[in-house]
Amino acid sequence: MSASDEPLVKGRRHFLASATTLAAAASVAPALAHARARQPATAEPVEAAVVPFFGEHQAGIATPQQSHVYFAAFDVATEKRDELIAMLKVWTAAAARLSQGQPVAPLSGDGSKEPVDSGEAQGLSPARLTLTFGFGPGLFAKDGQDRFGLGARRPAALVDLPRFNGDQLVAERTGGDLCIQACANDPQVAFHAVRQLSRLSYGAARLRWAQPGFLSSNRATHETPRNLMGFKDGTMNPDRANPKVMGDFVWAGAETPWMQGGSYLVARPIRIALEHWDRMKLAFQEQVVGRHKDTGAPLGKQGEFDALDLDANDADGNPVLPENSHVRLGAPELNDGAQILRRSYSYDNGLSFTAERWPPWRQAMEFDAGLMFLCFQGDPRQGFIKIFERMSKFDMMNQFVTHIGGGVFACPPGVQEGGYIGQALFAQA
């Protein structure tokens, strides 16, 4: 991508004007939060549709998974530390309002100004919107330059991801100095939130790549959701409600003080060759995954939540769970106990022109769809990297999936009222 520089002076002035407007709006936000929240007359109380923004941890990690995501990665455009901090303060104030179901500013008002809120979420439920912010490696050093005096504060756990076997990462969907994971039970609410945050950062940051996604579940039956391969996905996730498990695997520890209580996010859009997958026999699909398609039970078991029996052999002496099956390669027992909190969504970008070297052996329009893989962990070196290093080489599923982009981000701990996202990073530097 070769982008001409945007007019930074104009951009900065615009950004600072927005910041002033928003600061004024934000100063009255806490007191009016409930009074102004959207969805005045619903069966569900507004409170039930609101996930608190402020807290020990950022929302959107331990939060039960919503039905939609809008994931966005940004490049920081400013080279001034104070402008970066100002933007994070603006984002914090806006995120707190958006999470309550409030517009960033009223839709009506001074007609001679650009509306501060674009308006498409007006009247909608807060939809359990969560906004989770992360810092990419480029915030600490980029092209050898330490733009913000943060180089020495880069956590050891925020490693550049190695090149994995089979990676086909394209620049337009890879990297980012910052990221926002917007999740909500309404795609319009998630998109609206990122759009407002992007607008408020004009001149200070710009969108680099983005991917919307969805994950449907039946709220009545609480079944584990299925991804586009048709299999249940997430059965073996760590228990979000268990603080010990979350502390052991998901929350960052004290080794990098400003990250304590935060988490590291690995985001990878993974294209699935659906037309190819759909031509595989049922028994083969189940061997690839290591589970039965209908029930989600491990091969050889009856119940979805039955433990994997990694030692079971069939009558011929072959393992019931094939050596290269997806669930076996991901099993904690075979990865030094590693676990990651997966919070993935399916994506569907319509069609794209694809040359298939497998059935159906053709060049044609095919589904541009797959999995927006999102996972949180206390240290990627003991999480995603450990698990995927081997999986990328041996997983039978690799015949059907391609990692096409992504990034790694340090998501700082939660924000307290009056503070801002990542404050400890800047306060201590």
The residues in 333-362 that bind a second copy, with binding defined as CB under 8 A, are 346, 348-351, 353, 360-362
15: contact with a second copy by CB under 8 A: no
Considering the complex, state which of residue 157 and residue 327 has its C-beta at the smaller distance from a second copy: 327
The residues in 202-231 that bind a second copy, with binding defined as CB under 8 A, are 202, 206-212, 214-221, 223, 226-231
What is d(CA 412, CA 428) in angstroms, rounded to the nearest whole number?
14
The nearest distance, CB 202 to a second copy, in angstroms, is 7
The nearest distance, CB 230 to a second copy, in angstroms, is 3
Of 235, 237, 326, the C-alpha closest to 286 is 326
Q: Are 106 and 223 in contact (CB under 8 A)?
A: no
Considering the complex, state which of residue 188 and residue 260 has its C-beta at the smaller distance from a second copy: 188
Stretch that binds a second copy, among 82-90, 106-114, 324-332, 391-399 (CB under 8 A): 106-114
The residues in 68-87 that bind a second copy, with binding defined as CB under 8 A, are 70
Of 352, 360, 398, the C-alpha closest to 279 is 360
The residues in 362-381 that bind a second copy, with binding defined as CB under 8 A, are 362-367, 369
Amino acid making up residue 347: Y
402: contact with a second copy by CB under 8 A: no
Among 111, 144, 317, 418, binds a second copy (CB under 8 A): 111
The residues in 26-55 that bind a second copy, with binding defined as CB under 8 A, are 38-44
The nearest distance, CB 380 to a second copy, in angstroms, is 24
303: contact with a second copy by CB under 8 A: no
What is d(CA 342, CA 108) in angstroms, rounded to the nearest whole number?
41
Among 36, 81, 142, 293, binds a second copy (CB under 8 A): 293
What is d(CA 141, CA 190) in angstroms, rounded to the nearest whole number?
30
The nearest distance, CB 43 to a second copy, in angstroms, is 6
The nearest distance, CB 38 to a second copy, in angstroms, is 8
In a 13 Å sphere around the CA of 411, the CA atoms on its Cβ side amount to 33
302: contact with a second copy by CB under 8 A: no
Amino acid making up residue 350: G
The nearest distance, CB 3 to a second copy, in angstroms, is 5
The nearest distance, CB 11 to a second copy, in angstroms, is 8
108: contact with a second copy by CB under 8 A: yes
Phi, psi of 49 (to 5 degrees): -100, 5
What is d(CA 24, CA 273) in angstroms, rounded to the nearest whole number?
49
Of 288, 398, 402, 393, the C-alpha closest to 354 is 402
Q: Which two tokens stand for residue 167?
A: 């990676």
Distances (CA, A) of 68 to 71, 196, 266, 283, 397: 10, 17, 18, 31, 25
Among 118, 235, 324, 402, binds a second copy (CB under 8 A): 118
The nearest distance, CB 7 to a second copy, in angstroms, is 7
Considering the complex, state which of residue 286 and residue 395 has its C-beta at the smaller distance from a second copy: 286
Among 16, 17, 124, 141, binds a second copy (CB under 8 A): 124
The residues in 159-188 that bind a second copy, with binding defined as CB under 8 A, are 172, 186-188
The nearest distance, CB 109 to a second copy, in angstroms, is 7
The nearest distance, CB 70 to a second copy, in angstroms, is 8
The residues in 249-268 that bind a second copy, with binding defined as CB under 8 A, are none
The nearest distance, CB 165 to a second copy, in angstroms, is 26
Distances (CA, A) of 242 to 62, 219, 336, 396: 10, 21, 20, 32
Among 163, 244, 281, 357, binds a second copy (CB under 8 A): 281
Q: For a second copy, how many residues bind (rule: CB under 8 A)?
A: 96
In a 13 Å sphere around the CA of 247, the CA atoms on its Cβ side amount to 5
C-alpha 413: how far from chain center: 16
Considering the complex, state which of residue 308 and residue 371 has its C-beta at the smaller distance from a second copy: 371
Stretch that binds a second copy, among 113-121, 240-248, 330-338, 421-429 (CB under 8 A): 113-121
